[in-house]
Amino acid sequence: DAGVIQSPRHEVTEMGQEVTLRCKPISGHDYLFWYRQTMMRGLELLIYFNNNVPIDDSGMPEDRFSAKMPNASFSTLKIQPSEPRDSAVYFCASSLEAPGRDEQYFGPGTRLTVT
């Protein structure tokens, strides 16, 4: 397997624009996670899915953020409208078992810069 795939790897956009980040989890993994990493706040769990269903989105910072998982092999994280404080590295991860009880496989991340 190619591992968790994320696209794009880098995204530069202007404030107010819509940004869509994409993730393809490892085939057969039932759990998918979206994380955000910044120098100030470290690694934060934004949302996770189980069998394509969002289970906990309490980490999503505000209504400008939304995530979907239309099928087992694809998920998106959308920011609309984007703001400079959204600049961060966004990671997608997947796992076989329940969160915390199993190894999470992380993608390479998407570095987002909002100017």
Residues lying near another protein in the complex (CB under 8 A) are found at 4, 42-45, 48, 55-56, 58-59, 91, 93, 97-109
The C-alpha atoms of residue 29 and residue 96 are separated, in whole angstroms, by: 4
- In Å, what is the CA distance from 107 to each residue of 44, 64, 87, 98? 15, 23, 18, 18
Q: How far is the CB of 39 from another protein (least distance, A)?
A: 10
Q: Select 9 or 68, whichever has its Cβ closest to another protein.
A: 9
Q: How far is the CB of 52 from another protein (least distance, A)?
A: 16
- In sequence order, the 6+-apart residues with CB closer than 8 A to the CB of 39 are none
Backbone torsion region of residue 108, taken as left when φ is above 0, otherwise alpha when ψ lies between -120 and 50, otherwise beta: alpha
Nearest to 46 by CA among 21, 24, 29, 27: 21
Q: How far is the CB of 78 from another protein (least distance, A)?
A: 20
Q: Hey, is 60 helix, strand or coil?
A: coil
Q: How far is the CB of 59 from another protein (least distance, A)?
A: 8
Q: Select 18 or 54, whichever has its Cβ closest to another protein.
A: 54
Q: Select 81 or 108, whichever has its Cβ closest to another protein.
A: 108
Q: Select 44 or 81, whichever has its Cβ closest to another protein.
A: 44
